[in-house]
A = this chain, B = another copy of it.
Amino acid sequence: MADAATDTNTPYAIRTYSPQRLKDALHKMFLIRKFEEGAEDSYTRGLIHGTMHLSIGQEASAVGSCMSLSDEDKITSTHRGHGHCVAKDADLGKMFAEFFGKETGYCKGRGGSMHIADPSRGNLGANGIVGGGLPIAVGAALSAKRLGTGAVTVCFFGDGANNEGAFHESLNMAAVWKLPVVFVCENNRYGMSTSTARSTAVKQIAERAAAYSMPGVTVDGNDFSAVTEAVDAAVARARRGEGPSLVENMTYRWRGHSKSDRNRYRTKEEIAEWMERDPIVAMSKLLVDHKILTEAEVGALEEDAARIIREAIDFAAASPDPKIEEATRDVYTEGAAA
């Protein structure tokens, strides 16, 4: 690989993004991994009150899908949303603070893991309702079109969500109105314990795009470049005013659905097999192979991510709790007309 950048076999991401952006992408993937591990650890140590849904193993999908987005562009996320937040440039301290229920958190401790959002970065938020974000994403795309902002919305959802009526209604409206939205299905093969084979009457969810006359493509969701190539094309199409697309990232969550999962619906072998296909290892190798980073630099990136997460956790741990007497603040807008 003498001259990667001109080789036609060079992966899309390498051809398309600057070394700096690629390094940043890998850094974000490390941040997600470390965030999730830190979250898990905090849970084990009893610092977390509720449950959580970890996205370890899905980092390429989150980061790859946001590569061509700016702060003006929007995303809607899911219950498994930490990775999307990080991909959309959230502040890690505020994320952990939210996770710890602190006043300094993104939601001032009111929302928790399932509701982290950062509107300033175009992140309209995680969502506790499976499929809940789909029509909201379409609404954001409607705003963009109507207000002429040029913004695109990337709507994350899971394979399980694809069986919600909201999926159907949302894709249909987006297509009828030719809205600038990209539906990114993170197909990790299970909605909780229920495999797509037992829940979904089609082999690949991307096949359902045809029911809305929109392009649909399935890619290896653990291959950063493949994700980027597919989503970037869909984002570009949306920006050109040609309407929505559906991209299906095949991926896998290493951990159980949430903390109550006994992992009875899948085998250890299957999990091990997918852990072999670690998206971060693959991305690291890609960048090393293309001489964008050395092994040592990869290690340094990982360590830096670990440090940031430690600091984020420290920030969160040291942050104040919300005041009890303010429990009902922000239900309505203060000083509103009525």
CB of A331 within 8 Å of the partner chain: no
Specify the chain B residue showing the minimal Cβ separation from A208: B211
CB of A199 within 8 Å of the partner chain: yes
Copies in the complex: 2
Q: Which residues of B contact A171 (CB under 8 A)?
A: 201
Chain A residues bordering chain B, tally (CB within 8 A)? 24
CB of A274 within 8 Å of the partner chain: no
Known: A211-B210, A211-B211. A169 touches B165 (CB 8 A): yes
CB of A48 within 8 Å of the partner chain: no
Majority SS at the chain A contact face: helix
CA separation between A288 and B272, bound complex, in Å?
A: 71
CB of A164 within 8 Å of the partner chain: yes
CA separation between A171 and B167, bound complex, in Å?
A: 14
A residues bordering B, Cβ < 8 Å?
Answer: 163-169, 171-172, 175-176, 198-203, 207-208, 210-214
A-B contact pairs, 30 of them (CB 8 A): A163-B168, A163-B169, A163-B172, A164-B165, A164-B169, A165-B165, A165-B166, A165-B167, A165-B168, A165-B169, A168-B169, A171-B201, A172-B199, A172-B200, A172-B201, A175-B201, A176-B199, A201-B211, A201-B212, A201-B213, A201-B214, A202-B210, A202-B211, A202-B213, A203-B213, A207-B210, A207-B211, A208-B211, A210-B210, A210-B211
